[in-house]
Amino acid sequence: MMHRRSVLMTMMVSIALLITATVGVAAQDATPTGATFVDTMGLPELRVQVTNTAFEGLPAETAAGRYLLTLEITVAEGGGLNFMQLPEGMSFDDFMTLLAGPPAASPEAMIATPGAEAGPPEGEGGDQPPEWYFQTAMAGGTSGFAGTTQAIIDLTPGEWVAWAGYPGAPQAPVGLRVSGEAGATPAAGAEPAADVTVTMFEYDFSLEGTLAPGSQVIAVTNVGAQPHEMFMVRSPESVTEEQIAQILELEMQGATPAPDADLPNPDEFIPVTGMTPLSTGRTGWIPVNLEPGTYIMVCFVPDIESGMPHAFDGMYEVITVGGEATPTA
Ligand SMILES: [Cu+2]
């Protein structure tokens, strides 16, 4: 039986990957990966400045509907924004109290003991996201690095929180009231045109259309029963799904690949973009500008049963863009 990991640990794994990869980006002098829509369909915009400590620029209240989300990221390490509806009866203050959690569950403590039997035993529920996490509406969002990056998302009426998606993030969560009649359909207008549709379910991605070098729009849809995200990284060298499985296996054991293991170094994976978690039945859109190469789509949302990131259940997909899987340096 695998040890469960907390949502905190899960997100820290995700962010650790993000940060280590950022270092790789700087070292490799890679081009910025942020992308914007060519056609924004005249959608109302939520423009958010992601700083070292805050998400700035969101209104306290907005009408339900489809929005162009624009992140202006000034943090070298990158950042991301998720929109999650709070469950019935939970206030923003309640959420913040929940996030703060018991002192023993500090990020440092969790990181110091990866893979260890930290936290309460299975069954007590303390090492799992709360039940409502798997039921509540999640409208997605996106992540990126210094620069401007966009997504198109649908916000339905309710009390929402815009946050980095994990406890202990540098940016404080922000409350957002979305007004309108409950059950109202946010998307009366035409759907954004997508070149590729990525469908997420337990536990995989399927692609309709072909990712090509250059600019394009990806529609990301969750048809599964649990929330899912699509975090996309580029591998500097070609990689197989078998190798990804081996890397994840080592990660789970807290080990690093042996020098002669003939495995790509995950620290060299370069984050490209992401559609942050979408709940069941939801769709979001992100623009990407891809260079030829090998890309990996992966989901780190914790599983409702095991608490482990979905990646460990096989929720990753290796995609070759363009004719050459291994671009020359
Ligand atoms: Cu998932």
Q: What string of DSSP letters covers 31-57?
A: PP-----S--TT--EEEEEE-SS-EES
Helices (H), the chain: 7-28, 92-100, 107-112, 241-253
Q: Is residue 1 part of a domain?
A: no
Q: Is residue 207 part of a domain?
A: yes
* CA 288–ligand 1 middle distance (angstroms): 20
* CA 227–ligand 1 middle distance (angstroms): 6
Q: Is residue 102 part of a domain?
A: yes
pLDDT of residue 189: 66
What backbone phi and psi angles, to 5 degrees, belong to 83? -110, 120
Q: Is residue 196 part of a domain?
A: yes
Whole-prediction pTM: 0.83
pLDDT of residue 182: 62
Domain that holds residue 104: 7-184+192-321
What does the alpha-carbon distance between residue 42 and residue 70 come to, in Å, rounded to a whole number? 13
* CA 231–ligand 1 middle distance (angstroms): 10
How many domains is the chain partitioned into structurally?
1
* CA 246–ligand 1 middle distance (angstroms): 19
* CA 310–ligand 1 middle distance (angstroms): 5
CA dihedral 195, 200, 205, 209 (to 10 degrees): -20
Q: Is residue 329 part of a domain?
A: no
* CA 113–ligand 1 middle distance (angstroms): 24
* CA 327–ligand 1 middle distance (angstroms): 29
Q: Is residue 111 part of a domain?
A: yes
* CA 133–ligand 1 middle distance (angstroms): 13
State the DSSP H helix or E strand holding residue 150, giving kind and residue range, or none if neither: strand 147-155
Q: Is residue 312 part of a domain?
A: yes
* CA 80–ligand 1 middle distance (angstroms): 17
* CA 4–ligand 1 middle distance (angstroms): 16
Q: Bin 276: left if φ > 0, else alpha if -120 < ψ < 50, else beta.
A: beta
Kindly give, in sequence order, each residue whose CB lies less than 8 Å from that of residue 328, ignoring residues fewer than 6 positions away: none
Each residue's pLDDT tens digit in the chain (329 positions)? 333 444 444 444 554 444 444 444 443 444 455 789 988 989 999 999 999 999 999 999 999 999 999 999 998 888 899 999 999 999 999 999 988 876 544 444 444 444 333 333 333 344 578 899 999 999 999 998 888 999 999 999 999 999 999 888 999 999 999 999 765 555 556 789 999 999 999 999 999 999 999 999 999 999 999 999 999 999 999 999 999 999 888 888 887 777 667 888 888 888 889 999 999 999 999 999 999 999 999 999 999 998 889 999 999 999 999 975 444 44
* CA 128–ligand 1 middle distance (angstroms): 15
Q: Is residue 2 part of a domain?
A: no
What does the alpha-carbon distance between residue 220 and residue 94 come to, in Å, rounded to a whole number? 31
* CA 229–ligand 1 middle distance (angstroms): 6
* CA 14–ligand 1 middle distance (angstroms): 13
pLDDT of residue 262: 80
20 three-state secondary structure = helix
Cross-strand partners of 160: 85, 176
pLDDT of residue 185: 56
